[in-house]
Structures are given as C-alpha cells and as structure tokens.
Amino acid sequence: MQDYFDREKNIEKTRNLVGFVPFQKASGDLYSSLGFKCGLEVHQQLLTAKKLFCRCPAGLYFQPDDFEAEVIRHMRPTLSELGEYDGTALMEFKTKKRVIYRIRKETTCTYEIDDTPPFKVNLEALDIAAEIACLLKTNIVGELHITRKQYLDGSIPTGFQRTAIVGIEGSIPLKNKEVRIIQLSLEEDSCREVSDFRHDRIFTTDRLGMPLVETVTYPDLLNPLEVVEAGQYIRFLTRSTGRVRTGIGATRQDVNVSITGGTRVELKGVPKISLFPWLVHNEAFRQKALLEIRKILLEKFKGKETWRLTSCNFDPERLNLPRSHTRAYGKEPLSARAVRLPGFEGMLSFFTSPGKSFSDELSDRLKVVAGLEKPNIMHSEDGVFCENKDAKDFLLSKLGSKKGDALLVFWGPEEDMETALETIDERCLLLFDGIPNETRKGLPDGTTIFERVLPGPDRMYPDTDSAPIPIERSYVEKIESNLPVSVNERFSQLDAWGAPQDVRTYILRKNLMPLLQKLNLTYGADPKFLSCLSGHYIKNLEGKSGKNFPWLRLFEIFEYMESESVEFEKIRDVAKILIENPNMEIDSLFSLAGFVKRQRDEVLSMIPELRKNFSRIRKSEKEDAEKRWLMGKLKSFALGNIPLGELYGEIIL
C-alpha cells in the first residue's frame, strides 16, 4: 500500500466516473439514461375520535418524558410457514436491541401491548378510507380482510401491523400522464421513536394504533418532478375530504427508487414533499456509484467467492482516539479491530452522494447493526488515520497488506466486535451483487443513511383474530354519491378565478376551496381577491405568528362587512388582529383594526384640502408624487368605506 492516498482526488475522479451532476443542473434525458423509476407509498393519518382496533382516543399526544410506565421487549426471529427466516428479522436480532415503550393510560390499553385481542375495526375510519379509495378511482373490495404485516424494527409491540386492503387498481392524473395506483389500505399507525442509542431503542405509544391509509403507486414516476407532482396530488386529494389529520407527522411518504441494473431501495418516512427531488436524485446516483464499484471489483475478482477479508485485534490505545470518538461508551473497556480489504484501494473514498463515500455505508451499518455510535471507523483513505503513521504501519505489517488493498479499523465494547466484523464483511460482499435491497432514511441535506434490510415479500399473513367484513355495493354507492370535488376540477376552478400559481399549493393543502367558494357565492367576494388573501396575506400571518388562522370566523367577518357596508379590503387589517385574538368579538376586531364608518363623500371631500397641503410641501418632481402622497394620506380613512381602486380614480381626475 502507498504511504499517502489522495482522498479528495479520488472523490473527484469517482464522482466524474459516476457522472454525477447536481439536481439543479439535471435534464430529463439524464433520468432516462439512468433508467430511473420511482413509486410512492403515502401514509395519511385519519381524523377519527378513536384508534383503529381499540377505543383509546386518537390524536392525543404527550411529551417523550411524560409517561407513567415502561414496557421492555426483545425482538426475536421465528421461522415462517415455509421454514425460512426473514432477512429483516435476522438483522434486527443481531442488533441485540432492548425496545422500550413509554406509555400513559390515557392513550394506551392492553390491546397496544398485545395482551388483548383487537376490537372490531373503527367504522368511521373505514368510511374515510373508502371515500379516499373512491377518489383514487380504485375498485373497492367486496370483503375486507384484516391481515398482519410484519414490523420488526420494534415500532409495534406485537411485531406486526394490522392492515386491510380497501381498494385496488386505481389512478391519478398528472399534467402529462396518469399514474397507476396499486392499492389503498387501511392500517394502524406505529409508535413514535424517541431515541436509538447503542442497544436501546425508545418509543412512545400515543400514536400507536391511530388509523391511517396507505396509498401505493406503481413505479410510473420517471423523474423527480413527477415524484413531487404525484405526492402533491395525493396530498391534496386526501385533504379534500376534510377528514384527515394535518401537521408534523400526520403525513409520511416512503419513496421507492431504482435504476437500470439495480433493485428497489425504499427511502422511509420522508416528512416533506419538498425533499423529494434531492432525495431521489441523489439516491439514483448512489445506486449508479454502487454499480460502478461492482464493475471495478468484478474486473479484479472472479466473484465474491474469491474475495475474503482478514482481521486482527489490537490495542485501541495505538489509535490515540479523541474523547469524541469514545464518549458513547462511558467507562466501558474498549477493544479494536483492524480489517484488511483485498483490492479495495480507492473503494472507501469512492463517491456515492454529495459529501459521502462508500466508507459511510460501512459506518452507517455499524451504527445500526452493531450499535457502534459514530464516529466508529478510520481507514487508509482517511487523512486523520494516515497521519498516525506508527499505528498504520504496525497494522499493515500485522495483516500482511499488499499494494491495492485497503485498511479499516473500528472500536467499541468487546461484545459488539464480532457483530461489527460480520457487518463489514457482509456489506463488502454485497458490493459484488451491486445494490442491496434496503430501507434508508432521508436526511434534510438530500442524502440518505442505512436504516434496515428491506423486508421480504412474504411478510403478510391473515389475522385470525379478525373476521372478514362484507362491503355491500349499496355502501360504495352511498360513498360515491357524496365525494368532494376532484383535485383536477379544483385546479381548473383556480385557473378560472385567475388565482396566482404561488397560492395554489397553500389553498389545496389547507383544503380552503370549499370555504372560499362559499364566501364567493354568499357575499359576492371576488375569488381572485379571496385566493390572494388566503395564499399570500394570511399564509404570511401564519408564518410570522406561528399560529393557525381561525378560518371559520371569516363568515362572521364577511357577514358584518355586508351588513355594515364595509368594503372587503378592510379584512386584511382585521385578519391581523384576529390571528392573535381568535375569540374576540367582531365589533372589537374592527375597532382595533382602526375602522371608523365614514360616508363615501366624506372621504372624497378631503382631497381638495390635501392637494393644497401637498403643493406647499412638495419636494419631489416626479409626475406621480402627488397621487402616491394622497393615497397614503387617505388610505386609513378609505379602507372599508370606499374601494381603493375607486379612490385612486377620483384622485387622478
């Protein structure tokens, strides 16, 4: 091995080999050349009073440290009916995790901890799911069958999630294509994760069992913008019912990405649609990088059978580790291992995503599987390790490393060393196959980290505790007869209103169209004015105050303005007071907003005297100076009493 490895040069070289370009500079042809395909799994909580299979309240949350009891469990793999172990189950078993559930009696009963059979399914939740299934144009099943879906990360105490398919084979329209829907399912939500440190994973159970629907699309999305468009459409569609929860965590998306030569990788629990483009773009190139590494390794070795790492123990004191690298283990005695990776020179610093290389893939797995907190590795393509020449030379000699090899070291409690070594060996061998099936977690910077092995296809089986529920045609017809307006129709309606493009997402996300339409029809308020009021002004008020606007009170305000002949423009000042004082009386709102009732002629009669004043104090020679000055002086008197456009017309006469 050479004494010095130019990491930055290798990253740049491999980045060019992969052909990476930032998302902002990518063209549509790029994704076609990659063979990019993507599908969505959108999980949306439903607005019900109770949970899905028990009668605990839904939507009642508590702080992670506010709990009355803890239940501790350990996940163990069991053989399936075919006599096989699920890969995810085996991986979770390796982690030696203690799964800790924090509970409060207000939100948790014996059903959630698997001591009581399920209650009958929440029919309110079924009604909402059926409505969404109809909006997705799926075929509603004739009989609802509750099944169990294995959940082996500890987020459900039973180890499985109860779920039922409500509709199959539907579609949603995008601008230039239709995206096929595989199915819509009704299922119970999982626990909220509090922390995952070393071998302890902590959850709260307040969210556990809440009803949600999962919408699954086919992999019909062929570029990042289509992924965003589909995500937004499904979001708007579910919210159009007015029967789903909103806010942080109420909607979570899993994004499945693949490219030519690879396999499906699931990006789990993406909280924001705005992250989609960067996540799927970077994931596509991460997969491309792994395929390039595979190609290089297969040129050096005939296959994974001819490749084998070697390792040795050594005293971790040789590494002179800083406190930041060992703080997670407290006063536990530490061990260290060095690993020789034959023919891997250049692989550890091989570019995979912006700011990441293949060594991060190894580090991620050591954190998840072996419980070694980061930073947990050093290697021969890492400048910090290479500076420790004594330790490096000692380990190279001890392992018999040759030119073209790579050296990696890791440390931690002795009980985790064997699992860590197996994890490194397994991940390196997977390089010979290309892209491993896995679930990854999206990060705010648009990159991802390993979360777990992707569950196998046989993770679902019948729930013997729940009887099938027949779904009559008359029930479906009743649902279909009362569906909300489709999202596409809402787009057309906003076009007809002349609503600016930048207000539409907010209006549809908040499901404001029925309210705005009613204000338009009842009070004759201009729909373009209403769309700008909501999507510009009130959105800005919410952003600045951090509070939700009390939308239903707009009807009281418009009723008052109509009865008192107040012009609608005054509503901006009133809205500013209302968001801070949502329960204030209408008269007080208008008073605090500075509204004084004046006749039109009274306002206009001020113009001649103001003109005289301006002529005495005038400093600007600009042609419109007088008009702007007069509007500024008269605006507070005119708002609510005379339309500002009409006032301006009188000024320019």
What is the rounded CA–CA span in Å between residue 314 and residue 388? 15
At residue 454, the pLDDT reads: 79
User: pLDDT tens, 137-158?
Assistant: 999 999 999 999 888 788 999 8
At residue 19, the pLDDT reads: 97
Mean pLDDT, residues 109-118 taken together: 89
What is the rounded CA–CA span in Å between residue 641 and residue 492? 33
Mean pLDDT, residues 198-209 taken together: 95
Q: Is residue 23 pLDDT above 80, yes or no?
A: yes
Q: Which domains does the chain have, with CATH numbers?
A: 7-17+298-433 (3.30.1360.30), 35-264 (no CATH), 487-651 (no CATH)
At residue 514, the pLDDT reads: 96
At residue 640, the pLDDT reads: 54
Q: Is residue 641 pLDDT above 90, yes or no?
A: no
Lowest mean pLDDT among 138-147, 298-307, 457-466: 457-466
At residue 118, the pLDDT reads: 95
Best CA proximity match to 170, nearest among 136, 193, 202? 136
At residue 5, the pLDDT reads: 85
Cβ of 589: how many Cβ atoms within 10 Å? 21
Q: 566's torsion region: left (phi>0), alpha (psi -120 to 50) or beta? A: beta
What is the rounded CA–CA span in Å between residue 23 and residue 4? 33
Best CA proximity match to 221, nearest among 165, 161, 181, 168? 181
**Cα angle for residues 170, 172, 175 (degrees, 5° grid):** 155
Q: How confident is the prediction for the chain on average, in pLDDT?
A: 90
Share above pLDDT 70 across residues of the chain, in percent, rounded to a whole number: 90
User: pLDDT tens, 578-630?
Assistant: 999 999 998 888 878 877 666 666 656 777 766 777 777 776 777 677 767 76
What is the rounded CA–CA span in Å between residue 477 and residue 549? 36
User: pLDDT tens, 534-575?
Assistant: 999 999 999 999 999 999 999 999 988 887 777 777 888 889
At residue 95, the pLDDT reads: 84
User: pLDDT tens, 468-512?
Assistant: 999 999 999 999 999 999 999 999 999 999 999 999 999 999 999
Q: Look at 417 and 387; give whichever has higher pLDDT.
A: 417
Long-range contacts from 522-526, C-beta under 8 angstroms, 24+ separation? 522/555, 522/558, 523/558, 523/559, 523/561, 523/562, 523/568, 525/558, 525/568, 526/568
At residue 646, the pLDDT reads: 65
CA trace torsion 76, 77, 80, 85 (10° rounding):
180
* CB 377 within 8 Å of CB 367: no
Mean pLDDT, residues 107-127 taken together: 93
Residues β-bridged to residue 44: 213, 251
Q: Is residue 639 pLDDT above 80, yes or no?
A: no
At residue 81, the pLDDT reads: 58
User: pLDDT tens, 328-377?
Assistant: 999 999 999 999 999 999 999 999 999 999 999 999 999 999 999 999 99
